[in-house]
Amino acid sequence: MLTGLRGVGKTVLLEELRSMAEERRWMAAFVEAGDTRPFRTLAAGALTSSLRAASWRHRSSARLQRALGVFKSFSLHGSPDGSIAVGIDADRVAGRADTGDLELDLCELVTELGEAAADMGTGVLLAVDELQALARSDMAAILAAAHQASRQRLPVAVAGAGLPNLPALLMDVKTYSERLFSYRRIGTLDTDDAREALERPAEALGVSWQPAAVDRVISDAAGHPYFLQLFGKLTWDFAPGPDVIGAEDASVGVTWARRDLNANFYGTRWQRATPAQRAYLAAMAAEAGDADAAVSTGRVAARLGKTHSAFGPCRDQLIRKGLVYASGRGLVAFTVPGMTAFINSLSD
């Protein structure tokens, strides 16, 4: 389970896991939660192409044919017209993964796929991004399926990514999730890694960064991977070249990058909030001061002159929009770094 704020590279890492699995010819699915469609539909759709490829490679495997038939039963509850399983040449297996109860059905599907993978000498990967956006029942189904596969020692891997509060959410759903997964917090890059991220791609193209230029970008990005990527890109775009990036180039690149962040990274999030929600966000930012620290929901409510319970619906809506997250009991924080400073600057 990969956790961290937005823009630190969780999705990229999860995609890399999927790519590694597919290189080994595993049956792999990448699901992005938060879609309005049911999780069953998303999971079935994500598995389809990988299962088609497996069925072509292992046409003689009776065990795989049965698993494909169970997959058809599973997918029909998400797509009664059978459109998800188009291209899966197998007869539906009735009585398996077709109860309509996602937790039971996903456990049975994962078991069937895991047993088929063991028979073929491959594996199964279910990768789920934005896990915290799932309904509690969907989380329960994923955890139960992972737990069952682990108990049965099947070659099944479940990987996920989400905001920093994901471990607590999963543990609240199934207490055994604490020992079921390896949790990795993804954060900022240290100075050496940030420097390498800027210099190595440039060196491959015969371009060098002057020390002052690298230092400027690293300092302003503060180790945040997305900021480092954006600042580096715009510095590259605006540098006249041909083969050296100087301090002035970095200054121009950072200036334009900050304009881009304000308009497209922070600004779009701010615009998604209603006036009442913006008032709550502004109170959060004022309470946090100059830091991106978690703040007390009670103190935020007090700033707005109302009781803590009065802002429960507003806070929940902001969480669903992905603008804030509950970082602890009675605490709330922004999901993106620098949001505090952006909001406070609006009142300057």
Q: Write the DSSP symbol of residue 65.
A: H
Q: Write the DSSP symbol of residue 133.
A: G
pLDDT digits (tens, 9 = 90+) for 62-73: 899 999 999 988
* Residue 90 in this model has a pLDDT that exceeds 90: no
**Contact residues for 156 (Cβ-Cβ < 8 A; gap 6+):** 110, 113, 114, 117, 123, 124, 125, 126, 146, 149, 150
Distance, in Å, from the CA atom of 40 to the CA atom of 5, rounded to the nearest integer, reads: 27
pLDDT digits (tens, 9 = 90+) for 300-319: 999 999 888 888 899 999 99
Confidence label for 59 from pLDDT (cuts 50, 70 and 90): confident
pLDDT digits (tens, 9 = 90+) for 197-210: 999 999 999 999 99
Mean pLDDT, residues 119-127: 95
| pLDDT for residue 86 | 59
| pLDDT for residue 164 | 93
* Residue 154 in this model has a pLDDT that exceeds 70: yes
Nearest alpha-carbon partner for 162 in 181, 175, 144? 181
Start-to-end CA span in the chain (Å):
39
Whether pTM exceeds 0.75: yes
DSSP-derived secondary structure for 231-249: HHHHHHHH---SSEE-HHH
- Answer yes or no: are the C-beta atoms of 4 and 187 closer than 8 Å: yes
Confidence label for 83 from pLDDT (cuts 50, 70 and 90): low
| pLDDT for residue 13 | 96
| pLDDT for residue 320 | 87
Mean pLDDT, residues 139-160: 97
Q: What is the mean pLDDT of the chain?
A: 92
| pLDDT for residue 87 | 64
Mean pLDDT, residues 245-270: 95
